[in-house]
């Protein structure tokens, strides 16, 4: 008897707590904008399943909007769909589709303007110019959304998740495909990009500029036009990502341009034209990554300095490292190179002769791209062998003094 | 002519070298393909084997064979048969048996292990290379006076195409790198059947992206259907021209 009354009491208490935050059920023939305008701050709107042929819905107060069975909102290829311009908004389980495209306004499926503590989760966003657009927002979470489009060219399309001038975002578990860039970050700081899948985008899987102290990890980037670009940033942590099959004339897994004080660790680079393309970057720690079956595992321009490459596995790449100069201010140590053919007399797992990862043929093709026509010809094999015995053309400072003789278990 | 081809084939079968060649190729291809889990890599290794061994073995073996069967040829010529027919029959017998050896030795393992267009192209390039180098061997045979010199020339020719030509090409590329030489390079490639075979095969594989990266023109031209047709027809030229020349020389040759 006592237990039952306690439970009853607790239930009543909860109801009393919720009493001032009303729950409204919305049907598809109702005008959502009108319901929103009437609702009080902190209310919950439960949207029933169905086709809401509504668009340009503006949310200017803290609300919780939950869709049941993915109610569909349509922009008819002309309009924006949701605009959130308030803090503490929670949106879950709706489907947004067919935004318009304009040269003046970036039309998005769900747009956040000057908002903070907004969560958008479990939504489906199809055929939008921009999927989720965050502008000057803070502490927002974009989670488990499916953002899909079928963009044809760069100029006519937008990005899956687009963030501009934001802070402390969490972009987690989303699936992004068919946009210009899967995720676009510009002036976004202290944010996390985690467990997303970004594939089949025409330009980059992730495009990242002036965004300091961000972390992206456990993401998969595959089959994007040009891979992932990280530019003009410091303090980025890139870890446990998979970069797969970014294969094409001008593709790479990661492009690093003017990046400093960052980490690239535990990533997997598989079948990319170039694994890491590095330009003007310094103090990057590249460790415990696996580079397999890439055209070039790394292209490190001479403008990079103080980078450390250690404990990586290089397996089956056509070229391990290419560079465009003879200066080399970076450190390579303790990597496993499958092309290493030195010996290890004292059996301590470290090769006794240094490994030169830059082959003479890669030096020649770097200088004269036309020489690529001789790729895999018998002559270039011989040249590489000769150069291994007596290095004269290859940058002799670029070497791994302690190459591993056994693969790292990564 | 058919009878002569038949006898050439029988003779080749009897001295077992063709059989050994087939078996070696088959063992090589099976081991190379099993060695690498990635079939594309296996194909690349096989391509290397093809480009390196097929020309040298073909040209040496064919030259030696033509010189060794000179008495048989003389015997035939004493009969009322056209010289043209005799020499063509010998060529066809030789080339077809070597080509068949390649097709069986490399083609069969490929068919079972990695079947696809790429494998087909590899077999095609191998067969074409065989035909080309037997044709060159025939030319060497009709041009040179004795066996030793013939074998010497055959070695030099094979080395020239596998190694020296590329060396000259790279020297050319180096010295004219300031000029737009992409088209010139493609034209030069046409003068080396081994390079043609290599490029034709590479552009079928994923690695073509590497070439496209540096020389967009290569991929645009050689990667297209026109490019493939260009390289194949160049290779066919490489079969026909030496053959035609040797027939013409042989017709007037003083034996």
Residue A6 in this model has a pLDDT that exceeds 80 = no
- pLDDT of B200 over the 80 cut: yes
CA distances from residue B2 to A148, B86, B87 in whole angstroms, order as listed: 66, 10, 12
Mutate to test the interface with A, among B213, B219, B221, B223 (most CBs of A within 10 A): B213
Mean pLDDT of chain A: 89
| Stronger pLDDT, B114 or B31, i.e. the higher one | B31
Phi-psi region of B206 (alpha: psi -120 to 50; beta: other; left: phi over 0): alpha
Q: How far apart are CA A272 and CA A228, in angstroms?
A: 11
Q: In this predicted structure, what is the pLDDT of residue A392?
A: 78
In whole angstroms, how far apart are CA A260 and each of A194, A235, B81, B166? Answer: 21, 7, 82, 42
More confident residue, A402 or A397: A402
Provide the mean pLDDT of chain B.
88
The answer to whether the Cβ–Cβ distance between A373 and B216 falls below 8 Å is: no
Q: With a cut of 0.90, is the ipTM above it?
A: no
How would residue A243 be classed by pLDDT, with cut points 50, 70 and 90?
Answer: very high
What's the maximum distance between 2 C-alpha atoms anywhere in chain A? Answer: 92
Q: Do B195 and A248 touch (CB under 8 A)?
A: no
For the CA atoms of A336, A339, A345, A350, what is the dihedral angle to 10 degrees?
-10
Confidence (pLDDT) at B150: 94
* CB-CB contact of A318 with A293 (8 Å): no
Task: Express each pLDDT in A366-385 by its tens digit.
Answer: 888 888 888 888 888 888 88
Tell if the CB–CB gap between A372 and B211 is shorter than 8 Å: yes
3-class state of residue B93 by DSSP: helix
**Which of A241-245, A250-254, A281-285, B96-100 has the least mean pLDDT?**
A250-254
Least confident interval from A219-228, B206-215, B216-225: B206-215
CB contact under 8 A, A375 and B202: yes
Whether the predicted pLDDT of B213 surpasses 60: no
Q: Determine, for residues A373 and B218 on separate chains, whether the beta-carbon distance falls below 8 Å.
A: yes
Angle among Cα B119, B120, B124 to the nearest 5 degrees reads 115
Residue range B113-129: average pLDDT?
A: 89
Best probe of the A interface among B175, B215, B216, B223, by most A CBs < 10 A, is B215
pLDDT for residue A154 = 80
Most B CBs within 10 Å, among A227, A365, A370, to test the B interface: A370
Q: Which residues of A touch B210 (CB under 8 A)?
A: 273, 295, 318, 372, 375
pLDDT at position A4: 64
Whether residues A372 and B52 touch (CB distance < 8 A) is answered with no
Q: Give the pLDDT confidence score for residue B207 in this predicted structure.
A: 66
Of the pLDDT bands very low, low, confident and very high (cuts 50, 70, 90), residue B101 is very high
pLDDT reading at B109 higher than 80: yes
Q: Tell me the per-residue pLDDT of A149-208, one tens digit each, with 9 for 90 and over.
A: 988 888 888 999 999 999 999 999 999 999 999 999 999 999 999 999 999 999 999 998
C-alpha span between B52 and B50 (Å, rounded): 5
Helix (H, G, I), strand (E, B) or coil at A156: coil
* pLDDT at site A176: 95
The residues near B161 (Cβ < 8 Å, ≥ 6 apart) are B55, B192, B193, B194
Of the candidate ranges A128-137, A180-189, B39-48, B186-195, the one whose mean pLDDT is the lowest: B39-48
Q: Hey, are the CB atoms on A377 and B213 less than 8 Å from each other?
A: no
What are A65-116's pLDDT values in tens digits?
A: 999 999 999 999 999 999 999 999 999 999 999 999 888 888 999 999 999 9
Q: Using an 8 Å CB-CB cutoff, list chain A residues near B174.
A: 364, 368, 371
Chain A environment of B198 (Cβ under 8 Å): 376-377
Indicate yes or no: CB of A377 within 8 angstroms of CB of B166: yes
Helices (H), A52-193: none
Cβ-based interface (< 8 Å): residues of B facing A: 38, 41, 44, 47-48, 51-52, 162-163, 166-167, 169-170, 173-174, 177, 181-182, 185-186, 189, 194-195, 198-199, 202, 206-207, 209-216, 218-219
pLDDT for A2 beyond 60: no
Task: Give A376 to chain B, closest Cα distance, Å.
Answer: 8
Which residues in chain B have Cβ-Cβ distances shorter than 8 Å to A250?
Answer: 213
Chain A residues in contact with chain B using a Cβ-Cβ cutoff of 8 Å: 247-251, 271, 273, 293, 295, 316, 318, 364-365, 367-380, 382
Number of inter-chain CB pairs under 8 A, A vs B: 92
At B5-14, the pLDDT tens digits run: 888 888 888 8
Predicted confidence at residue A128, as pLDDT, reads: 92
The predicted pLDDT at position B216 comes to 59
């Amino acid at each position: 008897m006592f237990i039952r009354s306690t439970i009853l009491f607790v239930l009543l208490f909860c109801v009393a707590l919720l009493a001032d935050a009303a729950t409204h059920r919305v049907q598809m023939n109702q005008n959502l904008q009108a319901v929103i305008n009437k609702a009080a701050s902190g209310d919950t709107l439960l949207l029933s399943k169905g086709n809401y042929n509504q668009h340009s819905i503006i949310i200017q107060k803290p609300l919780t909007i939950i869709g049941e069975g993915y109610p569909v909102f349509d922009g008819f290829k002309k309009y924006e769909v949701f605009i959130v311009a308030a803090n503490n908004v929670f949106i879950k389980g709706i489907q947004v589709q067919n935004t318009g495209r304009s040269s003046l306004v970036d039309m998005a499926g769900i747009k956040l303007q000057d908002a903070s503590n907004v969560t958008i989760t479990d939504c489906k966003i199809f055929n939008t110019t921009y999927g989720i657009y965050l502008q000057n927002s803070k502490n927002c979470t974009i989670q488990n959304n499916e953002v899909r489009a079928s963009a044809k060219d760069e100029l006519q399309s937008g990005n899956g998740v687009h963030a501009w001038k934001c802070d402390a975002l969490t972009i987690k578990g989303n699936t992004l495909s068919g946009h210009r860039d899967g995720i676009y970050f510009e002036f976004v700081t202290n944010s996390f990009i985690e467990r997303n899948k970004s594939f089949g985008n025409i330009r980059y899987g992730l495009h990242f500029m002036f965004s300091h102290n961000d972390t992206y990890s456990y993401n998969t980037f595959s089959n994007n036009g040009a891979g992932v670009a990280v530019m003009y940033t410091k303090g980025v942590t890139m870890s446990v990502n998979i970069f797969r099959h970014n294969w094409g004339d001008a593709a790479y897994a990661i492009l690093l341009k003017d990046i400093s004080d960052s980490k690239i660790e535990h990533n997997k680079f598989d079948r990319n034209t170039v694994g890491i393309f590095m330009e003007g970057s310094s103090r990057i720690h590249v460790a415990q990554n696996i580079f397999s079956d890439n055209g070039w595992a790394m292209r490190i321009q001479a403008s990079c300095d103080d980078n450390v490459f250690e404990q990586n596995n290089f397996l089956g790449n056509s070229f391990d490292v290419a560079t465009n100069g003879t200066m080399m201010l970076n450190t390579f140590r303790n990597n496993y190179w499958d092309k290493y053919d030195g010996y290890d007399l004292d059996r301590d797992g470290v090769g006794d002769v240094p490994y030169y990862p830059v082959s003479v043929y890669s030096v020649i093709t770097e200088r004269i791209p036309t020489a690529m026509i001789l790729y895999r010809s018998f002559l270039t094999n011989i040249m590489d062998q000769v150069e291994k015995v007596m290095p004269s053309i290859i940058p002799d400072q670029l070497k791994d003094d302690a190459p591993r003789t056994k693969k790292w278990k990564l | 002519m058919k009878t002569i081809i038949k006898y050439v084939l029988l003779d080749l079968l009897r001295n077992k070298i063709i059989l050994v060649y087939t078996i070696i190729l088959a063992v090589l291809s099976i081991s190379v393909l099993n060695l690498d889990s990635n079939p594309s890599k296996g194909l690349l290794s096989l391509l290397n084997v093809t480009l390196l061994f097929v020309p040298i073995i073909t040209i040496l073996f064919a030259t030696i064979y033509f010189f060794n069967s000179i008495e048989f040829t003389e015997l035939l010529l004493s009969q009322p048969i056209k010289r043209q027919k005799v020499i063509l029959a010998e060529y066809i017998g030789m080339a077809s048996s070597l080509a068949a050896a390649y097709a069986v030795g490399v083609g069969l393992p490929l068919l079972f292990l990695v079947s696809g267009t790429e494998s087909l192209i590899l077999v095609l390039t191998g067969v074409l290379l065989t035909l080309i180098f037997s044709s060159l061997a025939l030319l060497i045979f009709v041009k040179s006076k004795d066996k030793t010199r013939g074998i010497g020339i055959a070695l030099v020719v094979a080395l020239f195409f596998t190694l020296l030509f590329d060396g000259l090409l790279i020297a050319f590329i180096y010295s004219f790198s300031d000029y737009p030489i992409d088209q010139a390079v493609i034209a030069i490639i046409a003068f080396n059947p081994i390079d043609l075979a290599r490029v034709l095969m590479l552009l079928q594989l994923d690695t073509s992206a590497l070439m496209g990266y540096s020389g967009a023109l290569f991929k645009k031209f050689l990667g297209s259907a026109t490019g493939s047709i260009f390289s194949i027809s160049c290779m066919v030229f490489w079969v026909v021209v030496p053959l035609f020349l040797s027939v013409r020389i042989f017709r007037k040759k003083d034996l």
